[in-house]
Structure 1
Amino acid sequence: MTGAVQTHPALVLNADFRPLSYFPLSLWCWQDAIKAVFLDRVNIVSEYDTVVRSPSFEMKLPSVISLKQYVSLDRRPAFTRFNVFLRDRFECQYCTEALPAEDLTFDHIVPRSRGGRTSWDNVVTACQECNLIKGNRLLEETCMTLMRPVEEPTTFQLQQNGRAFPPNFLHESWRDFLYWDSELET
């Protein structure tokens, strides 16, 4: 087995053949994928050409697997910094500039020092410059406005937003499952 095996993640689909998550993309390392195959928890949908071997067994590495049991995605999304950025599409909600996550902060619309809570309806994505300009003030005390209304997203909304941010690596066997509703070439 060569070092190239380390770079063969498996796309994980729910039992309905949709990815569990688009952003971050639901991927398992090849070891976890093979373990799930042996535990009969997944079906192999597609394979890489790379083969792993033991003294008594050989198998092509799975590139796409589907869960045998459907996992409901109806639960409320966790309130995390990443999910706030994803809800807001990695755009400052004040100046609308799109930035990488490492250049973003989150801002309390009503500052914590003024009774604001850290919750979906009081936190937005902000660039560092806008966050500094707004500071410890209310929106009414600034000339700033929000790009869109602030609300708790559904898991479905986060999934939809995540589809706009393709990962750095896409194996060709994944494309049919990631972009199943995009326009087909004629």
Structure 2
Amino acid sequence: MGRKVLVLNQDYSALTICSIPKAFLLVYLKKADLVSESANEQLRTISKSFPMPSVIRLHRYVYLPYKGIMLSRQNIFKRDSGRCQYCGATEDLTLDHVIPKSRGGKTSWDNLTTACKRCNSKKGDLTPEEAKMPLKVKPYKPSFVMFLRDFSGTVEESWIPFVSGKKEKTGDLASDLATN
């Protein structure tokens, strides 16, 4: 049961991801509705079986003043797909300040990138241009929905209408609310 469940706020906006047992408990205690279930799996007890949740929606709106992604080593690695942004290596990874700290570079999403130890050492106290080491992808700060969609591991098919970020009207109230 390593799979995850997408948790939607009362307005169908993506809120977070939780474990299947936590999602089941929220539905069972009537704190959330089951929006989508797994087509071919169920949760079983000795005498009953229940649908395996894939997407749930909370009954009460949860106000989050800040829905950003925490800047951390692991999240930078996730954003960069666990690859050195200079050579593409996947081993001996570390973080590199694109504009070195000694030159006023900040520790921020836009200035940190994944680098292998060899490239980080080779680049040293230079900018990528000065070291003639162009970045494969320019560093950026992922949005909350982008992080849920792209960096949470796997994305279930049933999550797509809620984390796709598309602005198309489908005629389905739940989908339309999720994308606006």
Q: What does residue 4 of structure 1 align with?
A: none
List alignment gaps of at least 5 residues for structure 1. 1-6, 168-173, 182-186
Q: What does residue 83 of structure 2 align with?
A: 91
Residue 95 of structure 2 corresponds to residue 106 of structure 1 = yes
List alignment gaps of at least 5 residues for structure 2. 165-180
Higher RCO (C-alpha under 8 Å, 6+ residues apart): 1
Residues 33 and 62 in structure 1, CA contact (< 8 A), matched pair in contact too: no
Residues 11 and 63 in structure 1, CA contact (< 8 A), matched pair in contact too: yes
Aligned residues: 157
Q: CA RMSD in A?
A: 3.6
Task: Give how far 1:61 is off.
Answer: 5.8
> Which of 37, 43, 50 is the aligned partner of 1:46?
37
Residue 129 of structure 2 corresponds to residue 147 of structure 1 = no
Residue 19 of structure 2 corresponds to residue 28 of structure 1 = yes
Question: TM-score, normalised to structure 1's length?
Answer: 0.61
Residue 72 of structure 2 corresponds to residue 80 of structure 1 = yes
Residues 84 and 125 in structure 1, CA contact (< 8 A), matched pair in contact too: yes
Q: What does residue 170 of structure 1 align with?
A: none
In 1, the alpha carbon distance for the partners of 2:119 and 2:111 equals 16
Could you give the per-residue CA deviations for residues 9-45 of structure 1, whole angstroms, max 9, x where no partner exists?
5523415767656xxxx34142x23321233222233
Could you give the per-residue CA deviations for residues 36-61 of structure 1, whole angstroms, max 9, x where no partner exists?
123322223326434225xxx84526
Could you give the per-residue CA deviations for residues 110-150 of structure 1, whole angstroms, max 9, x where no partner exists?
22344332112221111232112112333344121222333
> Which of 63, 77, 80 is the aligned partner of 2:53?
63
In 2, the alpha carbon distance for the partners of 1:137 and 1:103 equals 20
Q: What does residue 171 of structure 1 align with?
A: none
